[in-house]
């Protein structure tokens, strides 16, 4: 069974952390992953930096830009991660845009992910219908879960279609805005969280965008299986480098 599915079956709320590979420094990637697992993080999203990150807020954009300046590429990330399963057991997901994957070759990309021990991908600009028609068979061949995003504006029909072609979790964007642009959740978000929970989808939901402390983590996971923190963790890395990761995690739960 895929490590993502195993983790989702555990009787706990999932805390996932996102960071940009190659930030703050090119060779920090593996240490950050190891330290996050050591401090109890359940799943990690490794951002593959891209020059035109449409869904990312300024904090993640800045870290992605710096990672590119540091020299991060798809091949360097794969080289960094080639021995990661000797020291890390939690699910690892690569989050990135489709263009670098196309340049690398979709099948080659998926094959390399499988060889390294990557469990899934999040590709915000790959439409679910294109995935279902053209790429799902390749992902399935290499045992990779593809995770799709939904927003408060996504129709119930679209959500049910996404649910039907998914086999891991659904990434619920807490609002239609970019990452890192919220502080706390209001009635609008809570109504949305409850609406999705009441749809009784086959895939559990994990909420991202706007989770930055213990309070927002608790709010998000009241209606969902887990939550994802990105911008707040990158802000922590900017201030502290790769130190004090344990302090950051303890402040969330």
Active site residues: 45, 56
Q: How far apart are CA 204 and CA 167, in angstroms?
A: 10
Q: How far apart are CA 44 and CA 245, in angstroms?
A: 13
Token pair listed for 251:
């402040």
59 φ/ψ angles, rounded to the nearest 5 degrees: -65, -50
Q: Is the peptide bond before 159 cis (omega within 30 degrees of 0)?
A: no
The helix-helix angle for 29-38 and 74-81 (nearest 10°) equals 50
Q: Number of C-alpha atoms within 13 angstroms, CB side, residue 15?
A: 21
Q: How far apart are CA 230 and CA 56, in angstroms?
A: 10
DSSP 19: E
Q: How far apart are CA 212 and CA 149, in angstroms?
A: 19
Q: How far apart are CA 219 and CA 186, in angstroms?
A: 10
Are the C-beta atoms of residues 93 and 85 closer than 8 Å to each other? no
DSSP 154: S
Are the C-beta atoms of residues 91 and 43 closer than 8 Å to each other? yes
Q: How far apart are CA 153 and CA 138, in angstroms?
A: 29
């Amino acid at each position: 069974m895929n490590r993502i599915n195993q983790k989702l079956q555990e009787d706990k709320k999932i805390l996932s952390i996102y960071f940009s590979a190659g930030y703050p420094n090119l060779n920090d990637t593996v240490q950050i992953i190891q330290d996050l697992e050591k401090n109890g993080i359940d799943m990690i999203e490794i951002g593959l930096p891209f020059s035109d990150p449409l869904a990312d807020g300024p904090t993640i954009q800045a870290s992605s830009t710096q990672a590119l300046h540091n020299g991060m590429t798809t091949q360097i990330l794969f080289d960094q991660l080639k021995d990661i399963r000797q020291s890390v057991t939690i699910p690892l997901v690569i989050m990135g845009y489709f263009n670098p994957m196309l340049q690398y070759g979709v099948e080659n990309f998926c094959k390399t992910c499988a060889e390294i021990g990557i469990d899934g991908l999040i590709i915000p600009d790959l439409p679910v219908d294109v995935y279902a028609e053209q790429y799902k068979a390749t992902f399935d061949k290499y045992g990779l879960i593809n995770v799709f995003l939904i927003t408060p504006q996504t129709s119930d029909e679209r959500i049910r279609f996404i649910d039907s072609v998914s086999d891991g979790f659904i990434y619920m964007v807490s609002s239609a805005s970019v990452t890192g642009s919220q502080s706390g959740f209001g009635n609008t978000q809570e109504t949305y969280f409850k609406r999705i929970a009441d749809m009784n989808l086959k895939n559990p939901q994990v909420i991202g965008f706007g989770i930055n402390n213990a309070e927002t983590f608790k709010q998000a996971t009241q209606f969902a299986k887990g939550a994802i923190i990105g911008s707040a963790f990158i802000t922590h890395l900017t201030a502290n480098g790769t130190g004090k990761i344990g302090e950051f995690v303890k402040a969330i739960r």
